[in-house]
Each structure stands twice: as structure tokens, then as C-alpha cells.
Chain A
Amino acid sequence: MTTINREATPEGDNIKGPNQLHNDLHDIWGNPRGLKALTIVNHTTLGLRFMVTGMVFFLIGGLLAMLVRTQLALPDQDFMSPDIYSQVTTMHGTVMMFLFAIPMLEGLAIYMIPKMIGARDLVCPRLTSLGYWCYLFGGIILSFSLVLEMAPDSGWFMYTPLSSSEYSPGLGSDFWLLGITFVEISALSAGVELVVSILRTRTQGMALHKMPLFAWYILAMALMIVVGFPPLILGSILLELERAVGMPFFEVAGGGDPILWQHLFWLFGHPEVYIIFLPAAGIVSTLIPVFAGRPIVGYGWVVFAITVTGFISFGLWVHHMFTVGIPQLAQAFFSAASMLVAVPTAIQVFVWLATLWLGKPKMKLPMLWIVGFLIIFVCGGLTGVMLALVPFNWQVHDTHFVVAHMHYVLVGGMFFPLIAGLYYWLPLFSGRMPSETLGKWGFWLTFSGFNGTFLIMHWTGLLGMPRRVYSYETGMGWDIFNLLSSMSSFIMSAGIAMVLLDFALHFRFGKPAKHNPWNADTLEWANSMPPSAYNFVSLPKIETRHPLWDDPDLPRTMAEGQHSLAVATHGRREMWGTDPLTGKVREIIHLPGNSWWPLFAAMALAVVCVSLLTRLYPLAGIAVVVAGLFLLRWSWENGAHPKAAPDAEVAPGDPPLHSRTMDGPGLWAMSITLLANGSFFLSYLFGWFYLWTVSPEWRMPETSPLSLVGLILAGVALTAGVVILEKLVRGLRQGKDAGLAVGMYSISALGFVQVAVTLWVLLSADLAVTETSHDAIIMVGLAYALLHGGLGAVLTLLQGLRVGYGYVGAHAPFEPAVVAQWWRYNLVTFWILVGALAVLPRVIGS
């Protein structure tokens, strides 16, 4: 790979004035108005949409919290009935976690990451759009349940059997399971494309160790989303199947186990805490050096801490389940692991402290929120270590002490840094400065109100008040503390209202900001304020971690087009595809433009969601097919398609377009998607072995009902398909595409053979899926294999067609390599399934 020095280009006659360049780029990247604004895929616009929508849900969640505090202000209140109170608390937690915290931070990352790493957009822009629409529709569906007074009411972690159809016969749990799964599509989309964007689209020269720390944090968050969300998606699917069809995964009498739900939920739920905390800590690590006026000390320490946190956080989930009756040894292990996570957190706290110590910190408004964060978060961390101690946990688990701890960690660890970050980046969003006076009032009211509410709540918990009680009687010693908590919570609300008012007013009345108002070091401040749709006229080569400190002139030279890719006449949306480690340029990534397909696909998925809710299963089936067609239609407009990049001409000296290589970001996107898929699959295997070994009334037939011969036959067809596909991809790598179309068609045929035989095995097994959890979970495994086999067959069929259209071939060899990954994955998981479901029971016996 040649290193391209683009600093000299464009040369001679080609030089255009900055305005002309801007107009050219704007023609290609600019956002349409009117109805077509729904087609926008641009990360700046969608990031803002995510954040504004997140704020709306934050207000809804906050309103619910105020209802809770009103009810608890005095003993024996009947402001809300027990039933409504359960809905309100459940929805407060659900909305804040799933519809505010995660999407809000994703929105910030979607907005910031390309700007910070010197890219023009995220690497899968249509996926950003799909993610947004899934989030919006899922959020609306879920919130609508409140209006119908049918909201979920089993608590935000939906413990079954309480959430089962027997004990929650209404639609509440269904709203939760379907709505949340829908919203999770959004989180996974953002997770996948943030990972790939950070790894593959940093500007030239930005080696991994020169990347802003914020990008490290977001990389960790995105990877954790990718690995952490699938267990909950599996759990939600299983629970919804149990509710709708009666497959007894969690029902003891049918051989299921309610504790399996708790494992799957917390396998997601604990990493979730760090998914929320890491980006917020990323804001802290970004702001502190800027306001201390010096580089962060211990960049490597912070990266180490982020990595360790990411790994440890997947080994902590059982600390939410210490009272479940887990074996003592396991408790000791999870107790120690839970405490150990304090180490990477403490490292960060002391890195921040050392940076301030060695710098000249200024107490500007964003820093005020950072100091507030520190106090609250350290306090929440300390109670977290206390809670990790098993005997103490047994006492305060499920009391208001835990409620207080959780709010210290989440509000302190997420909300305070978020507000700090928003204040910090407001001038970038709007070109204007916020009001210091309103901001300070907002801070002090929020800070004192928060501590008044939740510091006291620790005490209420120690006095024995359990969480989630709709009322309490007088004489327990809880009255005064609850009243103080409630009063303080209204002070906190006033503070937050003031902050939001400040945000709203500043767009109109704020003083115009000067460029790079905080004297920051990172590339997002090289944007115009507010930024243009394409971010940068030209993409710089980065030599250091602090581009704007080391070259204050950089924003000007970038805007004048003195760096690379300052050409737009080809009509493509272009940016660099760089090496994940070194940041050397490898290819030009051309991005798809605005598209209706993400919106249409999300609408079809919304129809699936609503028709499952209303039990209109035929309609749901149709909508699934329609959504699939929309998604495939979307994937059609790739590579050498006329709407993507019909000709592959690049400026002399430039690397090729990614679709003309075997190295594009799509390979990475597929890998990361398969990582998520693998996490789902592992969760499934966990469920299978868990039920087999732990479930109290597990029943297993003497011999496996699955035909081993049939499964091996299907596996052979699949294996043959993969062998041929590998051969074709090897050929493409050497520039040969003879027999490509025929090859693809025959692979597809093998895929359909695999599907047909697997289907035969499934049908001939005659499973009683509503009677035993054994049959039900086998059914899910085979359905998984069928879905993957079917999709693989369809994708290869489409590849065959695309060869015919000339979109794929030796000139554009990229896509078969992507599809091959799917087949390989399918091969591995299929044989593991055969082993786990059909061979192992025969070997070990029931």
C-alpha cells in the first residue's frame, strides 16, 4: 500500500475558491427540504434528531418521576392507584434507560464521531437513518401504552412469572417486549456503524494511538452494545413467544425456569450501565484537558481503563441476583469482580485529578457540571462497592438504598457529564454561547435538588423502605425523609427546566460564539459553526493527538480546501477509508446518498410490531416479508449500481473506490454484525444448557427427536456451499470471475437444500412446543438455522443476479467477500447447533 501525500493537491488549474468548493460539496451532501427531509441520512442532522427526540422522552420520563415523588411525599396517599403506580414506575425506568439514556448518547456519538475523526459522515449512513426511525417508532409505540393506561407494570426488568400471560394478562408486557426489541434495532445499528466508522474512516494519519479519547470511549460503548444487547433481544423473543404462543421457557411446570430470564436480562443489564457511563466519561476526558489547558496525563492509562471496564462489565451481572440463591462460590466470584471494576474507574478519576493538578483549570460552566459529576459519581461508586459485598447486599437489595445508589450512578455518571458536554458543544451546534447566569442557576438547583432527593433516600432504604411500594404507612420513621426527597426532587426539576430553557433561548438570544471558543484541541472545532452537511471541505493529515493546538491554522487551511479529497465534481460522497491501526489511507469510501428505504423499512417493521401487539399474525407475517423486501431493495443500490458509483474513476494518485477492492468497510460492518449475531447465538446456547442443567422440572426425551441423518445432510449441503463460495472469492481476489454467476446460483441452490432438509427435520420431529421447554427451545434453535440458511441463500441468489447486471465481477469484487462471511458464520453455528441439540443429548443422555 502506497502512502499518499495529499498535502500538495489539488494543484495548478484545479484550484477553486473556497466558496466554489463549498457549493460543489453542498450540491452533493446538502439536505433536501420539505417531505424529502425524511430521506436524510446525514449524521449531523440525524444526530440532532436523536438528541432532540431523546430530550422529549427525558421530559416524559421526568414527568413520571415527579408523579412517583408526589405519591410518596406523604404516607398513605392515594393520588395514584396501585395499578397506575406500577405502570408509572415501570415506564419511568424503561423510558429513562431505553428511550433517553442510550439513544441520547448514541445521538451525541453519531453527531460527534465523524467530526472528531475527520470524516464526512458515518460509514453506513442509511443505517443511521433506519436506526433513528426504529427508535422513534418504537418509542412512540411504547409511550402510547401510557395513554391507553395499558403500560407495562411488572417493573422495568420485567421479571417473569410476574410479566407472564398468567400474571400480566393485559398488553402491558407485550408493549414492553415488542417496543424495546424494536428500539434495540436502533441501538445495534448505531453500535455496528460506530465501531466500523471509528476503526476504518479516521482521517489520514490518525493512528489508533492518536485518536481522541472520546472515540476510544465510543468504540468501547459501541462494541459493548453489539455484544451486550443480543441477550436481551433473545430473552424478549423467548418471553414474547411464551406469552403469545405458550412456549414454556420460563414456566416451571413446563420445564422452564424464571431465573433464566434474570440471567438474560442482567447479561444485558449490567453492561448497559457501562454503555451509559463510558460515553459520559468520554465527555469528561474530553473536557478536562481543554479546561485545564494541557493534554490529558496518562492517555494510555485511560485506554487501559476503558478496555478493562468493557471486559469486566460482562462478568458482573450476577451481582443483581445475589438474593436469588446462587451458589456461594459464584457469589464470592461475582462479588470480587464487582468490586474490581472500581479499579479502572478509580484510574480514570485520578487521571482527571492529575490532569487538573498539572494544568491551569478554569471553572467555566461546563466544568461546573463536571465537578458536580465527580462528587455524585464518586459517591455512587462507593455505594456500588458496598453493594458488591454480599451480606450488605442481602440487607439493602430492593430497598430505596439501591434506588438511591442507582440514581447516583446514572444521573451522576451520565446526566451531569451529558449536560457538561452539551454546554461545551452548544456553540458548535448553533454558533452561539449559552447564558452563564441561567446555566449556573440551573446547575446549583439541579445539584442541590438531586442530592436532597437521593442522599436522603439512602437513609430511607436503611430504615427498611422497600423499592416499588406505592404507599407506606406512617410510624415507620420514613415520613420526613420521603417528604424531603419529594421536595428536593421538585427543586431538581426546576433546575433541569432552567437548563433546558437556557438551551432553547440560546439558539435565539445567545451571543455569537467566536471560532473554537474554548480553545479545544480536537477536529470537531475545525467545522464551521454550525457545521455544514459534509463537515470539512478538505480532509487533513493528522500528525498529533491535538491537531488544533499544534496547528491553530488548520481550520482555515481545511476550509480553503488545501488538504485532500477537496473534489466533488464526480458527484460521489467521498471520504477516506484508512487502516484501522496506522491510519494510512487504503481506499476512498463512497457513501450512499439520501434514501427512502430506511424509512419504509422502519415503517414496515412498525407494522410488524403493532400487528404482533394486536395479535394479527397474518398481517405481521406479510409485514415481515415487506420489510425484508425493502431492506433487500436498499442493499441493491450498492457497489457499481448506477445510484452508487457506476464509474470508478478517481483522481490520479488516489487510491481506488472501496467497492472496487476486497477491503471495503462493508466487510467490517458484516463482521461486527456477526459479532452481535454470535452474542445472540451464545445466549441461546447458554439458555439451552442452562435449562438442561439447572431448570427444576426439566424433561428430556430418552432419544433426541431430531433426525441426525437429516441434520448431517443439511450440514453437508451448507458445507459444500461454503467451499464453492470460498473458491469463487479466492478467484475474485486474483481478478478472475469466470463462472461467477453460475457459481452463485448453485451455492444458492445448496442453501435452499439446507433449508428444505432442516425444515423437514423440524417438521418430522413433531415437537410439542407448548408442552415442554425442551421442545420449545429446540424449535427456536432450528428456526434460527432456517432463518440464517434462508437469508444466505437469498443473498447469494441476488449476487448471481448482480453479476448479470454487471454490478459485481472482477471489476467490483467486493460484495461476494461480504456474503462469504455470512456463509462461514452460518456454517459454524449450524454445526454447533447440530452438536448441541442432536449429538450431545445422544452422547450424554437425558
Chain B
Amino acid sequence: MRLIIQRLTQQRVNSLGTPLALSVGLLLAGCAGDKSILDPAGQAARDVVMIWWVMLGFGTVVLVLVTAFWLYTFKRKEVIRTPAEERTIARRWIIGGGIVLPVASITALLAFGVPTGQRLLPLPLAEPPEVIEVIGHQWWWEVRYPGAEGGEVVTSNQLIMPAGEPIDFHVTGADVIHAFWVPRLGGKIDMIPGRVNKIRLEADEPAVFGAQCAEFCGAQHAQMQLYVEAVERDEYDAWLAARQTEALSSLAANDQQHETAREAFMTHCASCHRVAGLSSGEEGPDLSDLGSRTSLGAGIMAMEEGAVTHWLKHHQRLKPGNKMPPHDDIETATLESLGAWLETLTP
């Protein structure tokens, strides 16, 4: 049943969307970005887009009609009327346009909108959904998986979720207020220090989505981005298992090549960063599986060979004002060895 509705709404979106978008002279090509609300990848986002197109169509009709009537009054020939006739005409306009039109529109809109809003609420389900905790920091994301088998998994600046099932995101802020937003999956929710907010999102299929801090959180608000990767359930479970503290610790322990880098890490980095089995710093992002992530610096550069070293050398130029101190006091060779080692942290 649900599938049928899904398909129907998709069709409606398409048939409504194209002519309307063209009519405002804009090309739908713009929808390709991985943060576009207009390119939904989950039911909640899809409902909102459908509401948007309906509202846009209706709003356009109202705007065009009101404007046309206004302009027409300047062109119209004068008609002589008695005061009684004038009163009747005026009352028709005012009651029809001023009361009936908005009240009817609002009723329709609420009838449409309230059930949709319901879907985003983390109402109790027969089978409680997986919980993922996201904590906003200036300017990076801490992500926790409390339900992982074998114990909580902690990581940062990457979010992996199972596709095809609802996920409850429990979010909060560590310093200032941030907001968690995956546009293609659905609405946003504020991450507020001292509170935990909840939102339920679901990705239809495995894919990668852009996410973004949506509440202004300081100078680097723009560079507080995140890639959300939806994967199949078994892939998700395997991914979590590989990030259990024991699995990660062995990653560091079995590596004999990078002794110097690890020493440098313990001197310069360990008080702020956690690498499972080595350090437990909490000021900055967890780095235990850094090499396996899609991006660096909360989404500002792709993870490629040499990327970590580049970031370590130039991070204050790439992301001015970020809370990691500049590394002028550390020798280039040390930074390079650190970068090379961190890239190997791929469970």
C-alpha cells in the first residue's frame, strides 16, 4: 500500500514540477547538488517536496490573480453605481478575498501538512528504531552508535546509517547551538547544549548525502559539513563491528612502521584527539578510523593520498579560526610522518 502511494506521489512531483520550474525560468538542472531539498531520498523529504509544489502552484495562482485584478482596475472604464451597489461589491471582495480565501487555504494546508509532520516525530514503534547520537562541536561532528553490538562505537565527521529503515537521531550541542540537517532525507533539528532533540529519518536506498550545520555557530559555520552514507544493513553491522575499540586497538598495535609518528602523536595531539588504544582526548574529533573517511576537516576536503599532511600543514588557511592550534612549531617531516600514519588508520 505504502509503495503505491510512494509511486503516486513521485509521479505527481514530476508532472507538477517540470512546468512550474520552467515557468519561473529556472532550470531543474540545479537539483543535482547532494543537498537539494528538491531531490528527496526519503519519504519525509518527499512529502515536503510534494507539499512545496502544491503550495507553489496555488500561491502562484493567487499572486497572479490578485495582481491582475489590481492592474485591471487602472485600465477599467468607470461604472456609475449607487452607494448600495458599491457596498455590496466591496463586501464581496472583502469577505471573499479577505476571509474565505485565506481560511480555506489554511484549512487545506493544515489538513495536508499536519500528518506529514507526524511522520518526522520519533513516535514509539513496535520495533524501536536504531539510535544514532550526533553531537555538534565548533566546527565538527561527533557521532555515537550506542546500539552497536559489542559496545558503543564513537567516531566523528562521518555518519553511516542503514538504508531502508527508520533511524532515530538524538542530537545535542557541546558548545554552542548547531543544527543537524540532511536535506535530502528531511527536516532539520537544533543541537542545543543541555538538551537532547530527536528526529526520525529514513533513507530509501544506499547512497551518500550531504549534511550541513544549519544554525549559525560562528565563523566556520559554513565549513561544518558532513557526509551521510546510507548502506545496507549487513554492511552497516560489519562497519560497526570493525570500529569496536578492540578491533581498532589492534590496528594500532599491529603496525610497526610508524613508531615515530605515534610518538609525535602522543606529544602533540593525544591530549585533544582520541585514537582507540592510544589516547582518549575529547577536545577534537576522534581519529581512530581517519583513513577510512570520505572527507577531512568536517567535509571541506576529500580524503586522498597526502590529504592529511596537507591539512596538518595548512589547516588554519583552509579553515581559518578552527580550534586546532597552528603547527608552526612542528617540523614538516614530523607532520608528514603523522599524516602518513593517520591515513593508514583504515579498519
Chain A residues within CB distance 8 Å of chain B: 81-83, 86, 153-155, 159, 161-162, 167, 252, 257-259, 297-298, 301, 305, 323-325, 328, 331-332, 335-336, 339-340, 342-343, 346-363, 371, 374-375, 378-379, 382-383, 385-386, 389-399, 455-456, 459, 462-472, 475-478, 480-481, 696-697
C-alpha gap A475/B225 in the complex (Å): 15
Q: Which residues of chain B from 168 to 202 have any CB-CB distance to chain A below 8 Å in the complex?
A: 175-177, 179, 181, 183, 186-190, 192-195, 197-198
Contact A395 B48, beta carbon cutoff 8 Å = yes
- For B181, what are the chain A residues with a Cβ–Cβ distance below 8 Å? 466
Of A81, A375, A399, the residue contacting B63 (CB under 8 A) is: A375
- For B195, what are the chain A residues with a Cβ–Cβ distance below 8 Å? 259, 325, 696
Cβ of B121 to closest chain A Cβ, rounded Å? 6
B120 contacts the other chain (Cβ, under 8 Å)? yes
Cβ of B246 to closest chain A Cβ, rounded Å? 34
Known: A359-B73, A477-B29. 17 other contacts (CB 8 A): A153-B219, A162-B216, A259-B195, A298-B94, A339-B102, A342-B105, A350-B96, A382-B62, A383-B59, A385-B102, A389-B109, A391-B113, A392-B113, A399-B214, A462-B38, A476-B210, A478-B30
Of A324, A325, A374, A395, chain B has the most CB atoms within 10 Å of the CB of A395
B220 contacts the other chain (Cβ, under 8 Å)? yes
Contact B81 A86, beta carbon cutoff 8 Å = no
A162 and B217 in contact, given A82-B222, A325-B197, A350-B98 (Cβ under 8 angstroms): yes
Contact B51 A469, beta carbon cutoff 8 Å = no
Q: Which residues of chain B from 51 to 93 have any CB-CB distance to chain A below 8 Å in the complex?
A: 51-52, 55, 59, 62-63, 66-67, 69-71, 73-74, 76, 78, 81, 86-87, 89-91, 93
B99 nearest CB neighbor, chain A only: A343
- For A468, what are the chain B residues with a Cβ–Cβ distance below 8 Å? 216, 221-222
Of A83, A343, A469, A481, the residue contacting B222 (CB under 8 A) is: A469
Q: Which residues of chain B from 190 to 242 have any CB-CB distance to chain A below 8 Å in the complex?
A: 190, 192-195, 197-198, 210, 212-222
C-alpha gap A387/B90 in the complex (Å): 30
B117 contacts the other chain (Cβ, under 8 Å)? yes
Contact A395 B186, beta carbon cutoff 8 Å = yes
Cβ of B19 to closest chain A Cβ, rounded Å? 16
A301 and B98 in contact, given A154-B216, A252-B194, A462-B36 (Cβ under 8 angstroms): yes
B272 contacts the other chain (Cβ, under 8 Å)? no
Of B38, B51, B193, B222, the residue contacting A470 (CB under 8 A) is: B222
Q: List 28 A-B contacts (CB under 8 A).
A: A153-B219, A154-B218, A161-B176, A258-B177, A297-B87, A301-B94, A305-B98, A323-B179, A323-B187, A324-B190, A340-B106, A350-B93, A351-B98, A352-B70, A353-B69, A375-B63, A375-B67, A378-B66, A378-B67, A379-B63, A390-B117, A391-B116, A391-B119, A395-B187, A397-B188, A470-B221, A477-B33, A696-B195
C-alpha gap A445/B89 in the complex (Å): 36
Cβ of B234 to closest chain A Cβ, rounded Å? 30
- For B218, what are the chain A residues with a Cβ–Cβ distance below 8 Å? 86, 154, 162, 167
Contact B30 A358, beta carbon cutoff 8 Å = no
C-alpha gap A331/B197 in the complex (Å): 15
Cβ of B277 to closest chain A Cβ, rounded Å? 32
B27 nearest CB neighbor, chain A only: A480
Cβ of A630 to closest chain B Cβ, rounded Å? 40
Contact A83 B219, beta carbon cutoff 8 Å = yes
Of A347, A383, A391, the residue contacting B48 (CB under 8 A) is: A391
Cβ of A266 to closest chain B Cβ, rounded Å? 14
Cβ of B34 to closest chain A Cβ, rounded Å? 8
C-alpha gap A582/B186 in the complex (Å): 57
Q: Which residues of chain B from 102 to 142 have any CB-CB distance to chain A below 8 Å in the complex?
A: 102-103, 105-106, 109-110, 112-114, 116-117, 119-121, 138
- For B212, what are the chain A residues with a Cβ–Cβ distance below 8 Å? 464, 466
Cβ of A380 to closest chain B Cβ, rounded Å? 10
Contact B190 A354, beta carbon cutoff 8 Å = no
Contact B214 A397, beta carbon cutoff 8 Å = yes
Of B32, B70, B216, chain A has the most CB atoms within 10 Å of the CB of B216
Contact A325 B190, beta carbon cutoff 8 Å = yes
Of B37, B51, B219, B321, the residue contacting A463 (CB under 8 A) is: B37
- For A467, what are the chain B residues with a Cβ–Cβ distance below 8 Å? 216
Chain B residues within CB distance 8 Å of chain A: 24, 26, 29-38, 44-45, 47-48, 51-52, 55, 59, 62-63, 66-67, 69-71, 73-74, 76, 78, 81, 86-87, 89-91, 93-94, 96-99, 101-103, 105-106, 109-110, 112-114, 116-117, 119-121, 138, 175-177, 179, 181, 183, 186-190, 192-195, 197-198, 210, 212-222, 320-321
A386 and B59 in contact, given A82-B220, A323-B189, A342-B102 (Cβ under 8 angstroms): yes
- For B112, what are the chain A residues with a Cβ–Cβ distance below 8 Å? 389
Cβ of A379 to closest chain B Cβ, rounded Å? 6
- For B73, what are the chain A residues with a Cβ–Cβ distance below 8 Å? 353, 356-357, 359, 361
C-alpha gap A301/B190 in the complex (Å): 41
Of A83, A359, A463, A464, the residue contacting B320 (CB under 8 A) is: A83
A156 nearest CB neighbor, chain B only: B216
Contact A697 B194, beta carbon cutoff 8 Å = yes
- For A83, what are the chain B residues with a Cβ–Cβ distance below 8 Å? 219, 320-321
Contact B67 A385, beta carbon cutoff 8 Å = no
Of B31, B93, B109, B186, the residue contacting A477 (CB under 8 A) is: B31
Contact A159 B221, beta carbon cutoff 8 Å = no
C-alpha gap A297/B97 in the complex (Å): 14
Cβ of B111 to closest chain A Cβ, rounded Å? 11
C-alpha gap A389/B110 in the complex (Å): 7
- For B69, what are the chain A residues with a Cβ–Cβ distance below 8 Å? 353, 357
Of B89, B98, B110, B186, the residue contacting A346 (CB under 8 A) is: B98
C-alpha gap A358/B94 in the complex (Å): 13
Of A81, A82, A363, A464, chain B has the most CB atoms within 10 Å of the CB of A464
- For B96, what are the chain A residues with a Cβ–Cβ distance below 8 Å? 350
Contact A398 B215, beta carbon cutoff 8 Å = yes
C-alpha gap A508/B197 in the complex (Å): 62
C-alpha gap A144/B188 in the complex (Å): 37
Contact A386 B93, beta carbon cutoff 8 Å = no
Of A167, A325, A391, the residue contacting B192 (CB under 8 A) is: A325
Contact A392 B33, beta carbon cutoff 8 Å = no
C-alpha gap A398/B102 in the complex (Å): 26
Contact B186 A394, beta carbon cutoff 8 Å = yes
Contact B70 A374, beta carbon cutoff 8 Å = yes
Contact B102 A477, beta carbon cutoff 8 Å = no
C-alpha gap A393/B188 in the complex (Å): 9
Contact B192 A324, beta carbon cutoff 8 Å = yes
A89 nearest CB neighbor, chain B only: B216
C-alpha gap A357/B78 in the complex (Å): 9
Contact A358 B187, beta carbon cutoff 8 Å = no
- For A356, what are the chain B residues with a Cβ–Cβ distance below 8 Å? 70, 73-74
C-alpha gap A162/B116 in the complex (Å): 32
- For B31, what are the chain A residues with a Cβ–Cβ distance below 8 Å? 463, 477
C-alpha gap A258/B320 in the complex (Å): 27
A339 and B106 in contact, given A258-B193, A395-B37, A456-B26 (Cβ under 8 angstroms): yes
- For A359, what are the chain B residues with a Cβ–Cβ distance below 8 Å? 73
Of B76, B98, B119, B177, the residue contacting A161 (CB under 8 A) is: B177
Cβ of A660 to closest chain B Cβ, rounded Å? 47
Cβ of A455 to closest chain B Cβ, rounded Å? 7
A478 nearest CB neighbor, chain B only: B33
Contact A346 B99, beta carbon cutoff 8 Å = yes
Of A257, A378, A462, A472, chain B has the most CB atoms within 10 Å of the CB of A462
C-alpha gap A170/B239 in the complex (Å): 44
C-alpha gap A363/B73 in the complex (Å): 10
A464 and B216 in contact, given A339-B109, A375-B63 (Cβ under 8 angstroms): no
A696 and B194 in contact, given A399-B214, A459-B26, A464-B33 (Cβ under 8 angstroms): yes
A395 and B63 in contact, given A252-B194, A297-B90 (Cβ under 8 angstroms): no
- For A398, what are the chain B residues with a Cβ–Cβ distance below 8 Å? 179, 188, 214-216
Cβ of A773 to closest chain B Cβ, rounded Å? 12
- For A696, what are the chain B residues with a Cβ–Cβ distance below 8 Å? 194-195
Contact A389 B36, beta carbon cutoff 8 Å = no
